[in-house]
Structure 1
Amino acid sequence: MFHAALGQRAVAQTDTTTQREGMTMRGKKSGLAVAVAAVMLVAASHVALADGTAELWNKKCAICHGKDGKGDTKIGKKKGVKDLTDPAVRAKFDRGRMIKSVTEGIPEEDGDGFLMKGFSEKLSAEEIAALVDYAIAIGK
């Protein structure tokens, strides 16, 4: 009787361990599925934004920077906008600083106004980042 009870306990323990391991594997599998889905969702949102980034550039940036990033528009020339395709300008690109500039704006030297107004109230952080990446890529 004692041996039978011990044997039943061992079987029950093995079943519990197997169930626990199965749950762990299921947990790992569903965790992986969630992670993959999250990555795909983020990638899809970036692709969707990237598809509209040129249009957003043309609406928000091209008036000063030009569609090609050369800054040779009427306003761009007046404000002294740099040519984003110029290798000397490109060598100084700093994505973090560029995001800050687009977000907060670039004040004029004399502190009276802005060379470029900030877009924090008009664009999302994702749109600003996409536009900065677009500006970086425009002259490549």
Structure 2
Amino acid sequence: MTRQGAGGKHQIQATPRYGCRGRKIMQLTFLGKDTVNGGSPTLFATDQDSYVVQGWKVPGDAESVEIPGKLLAFLERGTRLDAVLRETAFHTYRLSGTVVTDPNVLAQMNMPGHEMAVLVGKVREEGTHGSVDG
């Protein structure tokens, strides 16, 4: 992956990174987004066998996000979210998870102020084993 900076393009290493206290930083892999203008919601896989779901904040529910159903098409083959999906009147889904607050993880995302991200487990569907080849 390359990133444009003041000094030109810089290569970003895909190897595990460690924070200032020696703790491994969770790495995200972009899976897809449902957008009209390049924004989000967005779905990421983690290097810890889970998903990060970036979606719209839900007023009055600090641990939930709302996402369009089309975002689920980007799940890795043979997996599903380990979360209850609650359909809304707008044909979107609300789900809860652990709110992502680690600045090292958030720095890997492009998230506007009206959105947040939650970490949810990854469940392998029956009949699938080992690593998933998305």
TM-score range, shorter chain: under 0.3
**Structure holding more strand per residue:** 2
Larger radius of gyration: 1
Query: Relative contact order, CA 8 A, sep 6+: which one is greater?
Result: 2
Higher helix residue share: 1
